[in-house]
């Protein structure tokens, strides 16, 4: 008989996985193992906020996925950076803190997911955060995750953006994570005292010395061990050797929207045809594993500036040296921020129950840099700024699947961007709002010519073509292990238990029934908090029977 090494094995130390490690190990009688494919997050370019331009294409901390071409989006592939490091993608993201729209979670509940309405998840959002301006009905004040209000440090052009938005009838909103989401304001970010506040730093660093918590890095999970439809352990590869560990209670999959469905399929849980083609033994036919892939898309308009922008501070060599020294000495300045400084959420037409477009304003531009490089310290050598949009509600659906039984092979990712006409409609209406903003009196003294797409792009057909030619991911993949009551079209139930397999749960952005309005890191951390409560509740029930 195999003796379990741990009570709980958590796969993936990402946005949700670090939460689970913290909460499940709070009880000293629980033996918890956290396995992470990447290494330490104690790296300068991870902790320095604008360092995500460096980690954006750094193999040491990044899975660096490339998708299949999307036929309706200029038939081009898309580059998907995902965190392969403690903290997961919360260690390499742009740090914008957005919870999502209250209506998002009510819709989750209406799809049959009991316990996931806004009123039911709000306590978890409050529990997880320390909002700089203090707790209230909607915000938390003493959670592990520090959320910063950085308006006083932002570029002055952000004021022009907010004034322009107000000029065209968009209301100002000082807290888009408060009572309502609609409106524009300055983005809140996951930083603290000028350093990145990843899920690892918030949840893992303070408890790493707990004797009942074991963290193994550079350990690639290769298979979930399942017998008689029950998960009992994990196989992983470290330093070229294969190891096995065993769980008394549960295995929890928190490896993200790509790796979680990939690992399920490698373990024999997934669509029968996919597993057959990959020569993987079928353990449980779960048709939805890897299906329902959703992602937000962005379109950006670039403008010359009549006044200095961050380009003028960060491009020259002396500027780089000055800002670098300023950051090292004071943890302040543009290197302590995200380049996404202002923005918000709008409805471009009547009759919508929630926003359909997210706005971005950045007093910087990178048109001469490859999108794959994202060198934040090397903006364009002229004064410029950008206005951008992304769609909040995606109707296009993609999928991913393993191509063989090798756990080191990247899966085949097919986003199918813009395959639904509603997504094109939303983005078209969104870019027209950008043009309205650029023509306001508030921007007139500072904004110069539009140099991308340019004044020759005017008709709807031309605007749509530009959208298809230039649209790109906002790095919010979700829903590939979707939560819902029907096992034929979903992967986990409302308790995050994998349909058809005992002792196995999924807790990360892959369980989203549908993509939320805005950035997904906050909601993923919330999933980790709620999953912890669900697991500990079930443990208490089992111990009392």
- Known catalytic residues are 476
Q: How far apart are CA 237 and CA 267, in angstroms?
A: 14
CB 379 within 8 A of CB 396: no
Contact indicator for 189, 10 with CB cutoff of 8 Å: no
Tokens describing residue 117? 């309405």
CA 359 to chain centre: 17
By the 8 A CB rule, do 252 and 505 touch?
A: yes
Phi-psi region of 344 (alpha: psi -120 to 50; beta: other; left: phi over 0): left
The neighbouring-strand residues paired with 202 are none
Contacts of 428 (CB under 8 A, 6+ apart): 460, 463, 464, 467
DSSP class of 114: T
Which tokens hold the place of 408? Answer: 């080191």
Strands 399-401 and 412-414: antiparallel
Judge whether 362 and 340 are in contact, CB under 8 Å.
yes
The long-range contacts involving 63-69, CB below 8 angstroms and separated by at least 24 positions, are: 63/258, 63/259, 63/410, 65/258, 65/410, 65/413, 66/410, 66/413, 67/413, 67/414, 67/415, 68/412, 68/413, 68/414, 68/415
Give alpha helix (H) positions in 439-504: 460-470
Query: Can you tell me the distance from the alpha carbon of 277 to that of 274, in angstroms, rounded to the nearest whole number?
Result: 5
Distance of CA 414 to the CA centre of its chain: 18
By C-alpha distance, which of 517, 538, 528 is closest to 108?
517
Instruction: Give the CA angle between residues 295, 55, 22 to the nearest 5°.
Output: 75
- Distance, CA of 304 to CA of 265 (rounded, Å): 48
Asked if 112 and 485 touch (Cβ cutoff 8 Å), the reply is: yes
């Amino acid at each position: 008989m195999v003796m379990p090494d741990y009570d709980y094995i958590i796969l993936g130390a990402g946005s949700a996985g670090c939460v689970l490690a913290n909460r499940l190990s709070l009880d000293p009688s629980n033996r918890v193992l956290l396995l992470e494919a990447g290494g330490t997050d104690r790296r300068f370019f991870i902790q320095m906020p604008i360092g995500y331009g460096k980690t954006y294409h750094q193999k040491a901390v990044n899975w660096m996925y490339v998708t299949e071409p999307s036929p309706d989006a200029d038939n081009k592939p898309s580059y998907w950076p995902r965190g392969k490091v403690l903290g997961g993608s919360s260690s390499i993201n742009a740090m914008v803190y957005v919870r999502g729209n209250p209506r998002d979670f009510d819709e989750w509940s209406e799809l049959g997911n009991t316990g996931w309405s806004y009123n039911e998840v709000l306590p978890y959002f409050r529990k997880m955060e320390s909002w700089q301006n203090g707790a209230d009905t909607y915000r938390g004040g003493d959670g592990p995750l520090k959320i910063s209000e950085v308006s006083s440090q932002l570029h002055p052009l952000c004021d022009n953006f907010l004034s322009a938005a107000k000029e065209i009838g968009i209301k100002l909103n000082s807290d888009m994570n408060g009572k309502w989401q609609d409106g524009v304001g300055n983005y809140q970010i996951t930083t603290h005292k000028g350093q990145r506040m990843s899920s690892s730093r918030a949840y893992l660093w303070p408890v790493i010395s707990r004797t009942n918590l074991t963290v193994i890095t550079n350990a690639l999970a290769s298979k979930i061990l399942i017998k008689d439809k029950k998960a009992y352990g994990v196989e992983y590869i470290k330093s070229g050797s294969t190891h096995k560990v065993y769980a008394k209670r549960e295995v929890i999959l928190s490896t993200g929207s790509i790796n979680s469905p990939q690992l399920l399929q490698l373990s024999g849980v997934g669509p029968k045809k996919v597993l057959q083609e990959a020569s993987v033994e079928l353990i449980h036919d779960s048709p939805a594993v890897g299906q329902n892939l959703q992602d937000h898309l962005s379109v950006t308009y670039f403008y010359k500036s009549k006044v200095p922008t961050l380009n003028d501070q960060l491009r020259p060599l002396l500027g780089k040296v000055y800002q670098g020294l300023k950051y090292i000495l004071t943890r302040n300045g543009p290197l302590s921020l995200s380049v996404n400084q202002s923005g918000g959420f709008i409805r471009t037409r009547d009759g919508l129950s929630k926003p359909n477009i997210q706005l971005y304003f950045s007093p910087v531009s990178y048109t001469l840099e490859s999108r794959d490089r994202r060198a934040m310290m090397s903006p364009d050598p002229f004064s410029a700024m950008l206005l951008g949009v992304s769609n909040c509600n995606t109707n296009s659906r993609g999928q991913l699947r393993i191509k063989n039984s090798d756990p080191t092979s990247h899966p085949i990712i097919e986003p199918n961007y813009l395959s639904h006409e509603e997504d094109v409609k939303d983005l078209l209406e969104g870019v027209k709002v950008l043009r309205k903003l650029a023509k306001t009196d508030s921007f007139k003294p500072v904004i110069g010519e539009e140099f991308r797409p340019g004044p020759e792009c005017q008709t709807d057909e031309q605007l749509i073509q530009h959208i298809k030619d230039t649209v790109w991911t906002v790095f919010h993949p979700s829903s590939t292990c979707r939560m819902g009551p029907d096992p034929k079209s979903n992967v986990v139930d409302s308790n995050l238990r994998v349909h058809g397999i005992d002792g196995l749960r999924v807790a990360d952005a892959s369980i989203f029934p549908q993509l939320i309005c805005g950035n997904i890191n906050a909601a993923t951390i919330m999933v980790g908090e709620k999953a912890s409560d669900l697991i500990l509740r079930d443990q208490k029930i089992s111990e009392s029977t």
